[in-house]
Amino acid sequence: MTPTLDPAVLRPRPEVMSIGLFGRNRAVLGRAARVVRAAANLEWVAFGDDPVELRSQLAETTRLLLCDGADLALVLDWMSQGFPRARVAAFSHDPAALIGAAERDDRVVSVLGWPAFQSMPRPWELALATRTILSADSEATTLGDVLTGVPVAAEFRPQTHAERAATVDQIAALAERTGAGERVSTQIAAVAHELIINASYDAPVDAAGEPTYIHDRRAPITARGREVPLVQFATDGNLVVVQVVDRYGRLTRDHVLASIRRGQAAGTAPAREVVDSSSGGAGLGIWQVYASSAVTIVDVLPGYRTAVTAVFDIDLHARDARTLPPSLHLFDRGRLL
């Protein structure tokens, strides 16, 4: 294993710290703080359930604040008054309202859906948000950031309509082979299809920066060179991950959140208020990915690379899966740096 720190440079506990964790559940705070501390290379983490005391332990240079979604407004207020460099990861059993907060305020980077049947937010998500917000110089989330051990993985680079369809079929077959049920395998295949179509039709631009194929997402195009997306499937036996990467970096945080907002409204609003056909479709593709996955991770290096990672928990009982609150991580390197 490659060393990540030198014990000789670790500092004694300082009076003020640059990472804070706020919540009302003390048992959860202690466990979550250990995960965050490890992900931050054993940096000190201030945590507690007393807002006045916790704030007094935070430095002006604070980079990361994590909190229960019920306290998000308070934490954002702290940041406006004294922590201008901080970004937020919030967790909740019902994260739908936090999506609106993220749309209004780009300091909200991660919205973690906390499954009610788990004792704390998923540790790997807390660690991922911590590492990425503190060190935004990496290009994208890796499979190892999500999966445990040495996961099994497959890679595809579809160029033609037939190859795109075959890739989706192979991902569906691989999902079934992991032991995922028919419903979950169908969801995984549908998400893979949406992400592959997005990367193949929506992402490419010509030399003038104009969309190349977005006018007709049904046209039988053949992708070449930079246009060919990278598709990965991986599993550790508990989770299945589908990641699709394009080399254009055009997907924006605003587009992702607007799509999710339209999807959330789809059940109650008139169709004319929900559909956005400006990009050659209904504009609901990212919503469908978000709603079908346990976790959606969007990594964007503007003008260079987009990676969308969809995570599925195949170990869940069907009853729990129906009530699973989805998570969203928006890692726009242009805004985090």
Q: How confident is the model at residue 40, as a pLDDT?
A: 96
Q: Which of 53, 46, 48, 50 is nearest to 19 (CA)?
A: 46
Residue whose tokens read 């970004």: 87
Q: How confident is the model at residue 281, as a pLDDT?
A: 36
Please tell me whether residues 124 and 147 are part of one structural domain. Answer: no
Give 232-256 pLDDT, tens digit per residue. Answer: 999 999 999 999 999 999 999 999 9
Please tell me whether residues 66 and 47 are part of one structural domain. Answer: yes
Q: Band of the pLDDT at 267, cuts 50, 70, 90? A: low
Give 63-76 pLDDT, tens digit per residue. Answer: 999 999 999 999 99
Please tell me whether residues 79 and 190 are part of one structural domain. Answer: no
HSE-up of residue 302 (Cα within 13 Å, Cβ side):
10
- Tell how strand 108-113 and strand 327-332 pair up: antiparallel
Reduced to 3 states, what is the DSSP secondary structure of residue 216?
A: coil
In this prediction the pTM is 0.93
Please tell me whether residues 77 and 149 are part of one structural domain. Answer: no
Q: Band of the pLDDT at 230, cuts 50, 70, 90? A: very high
Q: How confident is the model at residue 215, as a pLDDT?
A: 67
The predicted model gives 267-275 an average pLDDT of 39
The one-letter amino acid code at 216 reads D
Phi/psi for 85 (5° steps) reads -95, -5
The predicted model gives 124-152 an average pLDDT of 91
Please tell me whether residues 202 and 123 are part of one structural domain. Answer: no
Q: Band of the pLDDT at 224, cuts 50, 70, 90? A: very high
| % residues pLDDT > 70 (the chain) | 94
The predicted model gives 88-106 an average pLDDT of 95
Q: What's the domain range around 82?
A: 7-134
Please tell me whether residues 22 and 40 are part of one structural domain. Answer: yes
Of the residues 110, 134, 158, the one at which a domain ends: 134
Two tokens at 139?
């290009």
Two tokens at 290?
């978000």
Please tell me whether residues 149 and 175 are part of one structural domain. Answer: yes
Length of the chain: 337
Give 147-174 pLDDT, tens digit per residue. Answer: 999 899 999 999 999 999 999 999 999 9
DSSP state of 67: E
Residue 273 has pLDDT above 60, yes or no: no
Q: Band of the pLDDT at 139, cuts 50, 70, 90? A: confident
Q: How confident is the model at residue 269, as a pLDDT?
A: 39
Q: Which residue has the higher pLDDT, 137 or 250?
A: 250
The predicted model gives 217-222 an average pLDDT of 84
The one-letter amino acid code at 328 reads L
The tally of domains found in the chain comes to 2
For the residues of 65-88, what is the DSSP string, one character each? EEEEGGGHHHHHHHHHHH-TT-EE
How far is residue 159's CA from residue 166's CA, in Å, rounded to a whole number?
Answer: 11
Residue 336 has pLDDT above 50, yes or no: yes
Q: How confident is the model at residue 104, as a pLDDT?
A: 95
Residue 276 has pLDDT above 70, yes or no: no
Reduced to 3 states, what is the DSSP secondary structure of residue 58?
A: strand
Query: Is 76 among the domain residues?
Result: yes
Query: Is 176 among the domain residues?
Result: yes
Please tell me whether residues 18 and 114 are part of one structural domain. Answer: yes
Please tell me whether residues 109 and 201 are part of one structural domain. Answer: no
| % residues pLDDT > 90 (the chain) | 77
